[in-house]
Every structure is written in structure tokens, then in C-alpha cells.
Structure 1
Amino acid sequence: MPQLELAGVHYVKIPVSDLSRSLPWYERVFGFRATMEFPDDDGVIRGVGGQVPGLGDTLVAFRENLQAAQGCRGFDPVGFAIADHADAENWVAHLDDLGVPHSPIIEASIGWLLVFNDPDGLELHLYTWAGHGIDHSARRGYGRPVADAAGS
């Protein structure tokens, strides 16, 4: 049997309660550009998909679903990657310019983290690929390495 391997993330779908409110917000904050729309059987568009600069071929989709949007409130289903602490500082300035409330830059488990909410209260994380080199593994709520199956 051939070894199975994923080829990446095709799309991320975010539930929203009001597409007409959320799309302009994601356009301003992330530069989202719609490339597809999805009308329901009644002809009303309740889903939109498109691209966000920096995500390559991974698409971002939004779907009106009040129950799912409410259920995800305060949860972070996806973490968007940024390069390093300097990028986090640039995002702070961008969010400040837009009047979007956000956390301070957090020294997270591996790298730096910036947290803010979309219009439905979905928690969005910008997490750096660059690590800070500080071991937080003994702190409650922080990640720690897991031994692999070989026991290393």
C-alpha cells in the first residue's frame, strides 16, 4: 500500500452570522478577495470563498450559519502564521489603525501570538513561525513536547 500524504490545506471555512457584516471586516483586516459565491436553493448568497494574501493556494470561505457562529464564539479553530515578532508588531499597528481591539503580543508556547476577534467573536490567532526559545512547558495552559512512538 502506498504511503498516504496530504498535500496541504485546501480551504478554511469560517461560520458567520451575517455575511454582509463579516465580509467587509475580513477584507479590511486580511485583504480577503472573494472569487466565488454560493447561493442556496432560494438564490440567496449565504457563502463566499476567496483568497487572502499570504495563504498561497489555501482558500478561505465564509458561510452564514448562526448556530455554528455562536458555537465557535471565543474559540480559535485556525491559527494564521506570521513570520516573526516584527510582523506581530506590524499587525498590532494595522489593527490599531482599523480600531480592532487585540491582545498584547503574547509570549506563547513556541513563538509570539496576537489574538483578536472577528465580528462574531471568533478568536483569531496570528502566531509566529519564529520561536522565542523560552521553555514554557511547565506553565499551566502552555504546550510541551510529546514523545513520539519510538519514545524519543
Structure 2
Amino acid sequence: MPELAGIHHIKIPVTDLVRSIRWYREVLGFRPTMQFWDSDGVVRGTAGELPGLSPALLGLRENPLAAQGCKGFDPVSLGARDRDHLEQWSAHLDTHGVAHSPIIDASAGWLLVFNDPDGLELHLYTWAEHGADTADRPGYATPIENPDDWLPKR
């Protein structure tokens, strides 16, 4: 099997492209570099750079139905170095009036949760691990002993 070459882009559905561009620019440093217009000539999408995501791109695509369907879901976790880095992010989100969770002991590392303007749940998850045992917590990850043959029990 050929190996994947990383993540090319992440596409997020939004209800209001202009509002979302402003929010992602202000809160996450998004820099649009491409635009996508529909057959009616209206721009309904953009893609560009998100600091720390390179070479992958972030895409925002106006699709109100998909955005509503994703509300409260967390399709992607963006990386943070460690707990101190999440403290910096917490302060940054506070500065921009973005409500967020406290720093959480997640399955392996620490986690900070907040929502974009459409209610999509965004996660900042640390690469550094905390070492806490979370195996008895529902919804938290536990190791799979034989990944090649594993399927969930129903």
C-alpha cells in the first residue's frame, strides 16, 4: 500500500463566509490565499495558510446545511506544544472574547475546547503527554492490543 503524504487541507463548512474569514483571521491567524466562486460568480469559499498548519491549508466553504450539521462536532484537533502553550492560547482566546473550556486532562495530553462562529467545536490538543490514567473515563481513549485485527464490539 502506498503511504499517504500528509494532510493537504482541512475544509470547514460555514454559514457566513465573510464572518468566518474575519473570525479565523483574528483568532487563529488565517491568511486567505485562494478564492472559490460558484457558477453565479459569487465567492463562496476560500483557502489559505494557518500558522503552524503548513504545508496543509485551511479551507472555509459557505454551506449552511453542512455547517448546521457539524455544529457541536469536533472534526479536527489542532496541535499545541504543551500545557504552557495552552495557557497562552487560553489568554489569547480571552483577549478576543472567545469562550472556551478550562484546560482538560484528555486521553494523553491536555486539551482546550472552543467554538467557531457556527458552533463547530475546535480542539487544541498538546503533543506533550500528562501521564494521568484516564482509562476508566467514558469517551477517553484506551490502547488497542492488536490494531491489524481490531473492530469495535457491538
Calculate the TM-score normalised by the size of structure 2. Answer: 0.94
Q: Secondary structure at the match of 1:93?
A: helix
Alignment correspondent of 2:152: none
Paired residue for 2:16, among 15, 18, 23?
Answer: 18
Evaluate the alpha carbon distance shift between residue 146 and residue 47 of structure 1 in structure 2; reply closer, same or farther with a 3 A threshold.
Answer: same
Paired residue for 1:114, among 101, 112, 117?
Answer: 112
CA–CA distance in structure 2, aligned partners of residues 16 and 134 of structure 1: 36
CA–CA distance in structure 2, aligned partners of residues 48 and 149 of structure 1: 37
Alignment correspondent of 1:46: 44
Equivalent positions of 1:49-64 (< 5 A) are: 49-64=47-62
What is the root-mean-square deviation of aligned Cα atoms in Å? Answer: 1.1
* Number of aligned residue pairs: 149
Q: Secondary structure at the match of 1:63?
A: strand
Evaluate the alpha carbon distance shift between residue 115 and residue 148 of structure 1 in structure 2; reply closer, same or farther with a 3 A threshold.
Answer: same
Of 142-151 and 70-79, more deviation after overlay is shown by: 142-151
CA–CA distance in structure 1, aligned partners of residues 148 and 57 of structure 2: 36
Identical-residue share of aligned pairs (%): 60
Instruction: Kindly state the Cα deviation for residue 150 of structure 1 after the two structures are TM-superposed.
Output: 6.8
Calculate the TM-score normalised by the size of structure 1. Answer: 0.95
Which runs of 5 or more residues in structure 2 are unaligned? 150-154
